[in-house]
């Protein structure tokens, strides 16, 4: 790469200034919803997450080929894993994949 730089693909883990973490906490406090999570045979854990029901999967030429539910968690509160069963808005779904883990928040795509 010109100038000796390094090309980076995908999400990059950064250490944000404390004021940005406080802002995230305020946003989660305002917009997050309560959810219940079961991992394996463990007892349910109650935490909070941001719910995005409008996340779209784009195909060739920008065509929408599907919609999905994406949940965002503050990693220090809960770090989702595949097959976790999460109940939010009265519906239980399993985690299908981890979309992004930037070290502070984790986004999980729900099955179904």
- Span 49-65, pLDDT tens digits: 999 987 777 778 888 77
User: Which pLDDT score, from 0 to 100, does residue 64 have?
Assistant: 74
Extract the residue ranges of the chain whose pLDDT is less than 70: 1-23
How far is it, in rounded angstroms, from Cα 64 to Cα 111? Answer: 18
pTM value? 0.74
How far is it, in rounded angstroms, from Cα 48 to Cα 37? Answer: 10
């Amino acid at each position: 790469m010109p100038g000796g730089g390094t090309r980076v693909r995908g999400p990059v883990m950064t250490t944000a200034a404390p004021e940005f973490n406080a802002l995230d906490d305020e946003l989660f406090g305002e917009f997050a919803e309560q959810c219940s999570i079961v991992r394996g045979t463990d007892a349910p854990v109650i935490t909070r997450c941001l719910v995005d029901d409008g996340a779209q999967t784009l195909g060739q030429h920008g065509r929408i080929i599907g919609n999905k539910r994406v949940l965002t968690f503050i990693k220090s509160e809960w770090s989702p894993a595949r097959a976790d069963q999460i109940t939010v808005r009265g519906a239980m779904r399993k985690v299908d994949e981890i979309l992004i883990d930037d070290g502070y928040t984790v986004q999980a795509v729900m099955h179904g």
